[in-house]
Amino acid sequence: MKQADIAYNKKPLLFKKCKTNSYPDSKRCTYIRNYKNKLIRCKNNIINDNEDICFKHEDSPNIYWDSYIELLEKLNKTK
């Protein structure tokens, strides 16, 4: 995702997902899902600039959000 952020910041109009294999952080869905006991963020593109989720998760409750935030806080404390 870091490479996608750099590429998007340089030339946003020419950004292609296929070159970086990910969307930049600002354009990526914030829905958290549990995949093989790991909390990961959705990899889809957001609906528009006013939203922070993709079409797939538009009506889905984000049940793992609190657990994800707790995990991030624990990781930041250990650094």
Q: What is the separation, in whole angstroms, between the first and last Cα of the chain?
A: 20
pLDDT of residue 64: 93
What is the per-residue pLDDT across 29-57, written as a single tens digit (0 to 9) for each?
999 999 999 999 898 889 988 888 999 99
Residues 17-31, mean pLDDT to the nearest whole number: 82
Q: Give the pLDDT confidence score for residue 17 in this predicted structure.
A: 76
Residue 11 predicted with pLDDT over 80: no
Give burial (CB, 10 Å; 0-12/13-18/19+) of 74: exposed
| Domain residue limits at 23 | 2-78
Total tally of structural domains belonging to the chain = 1
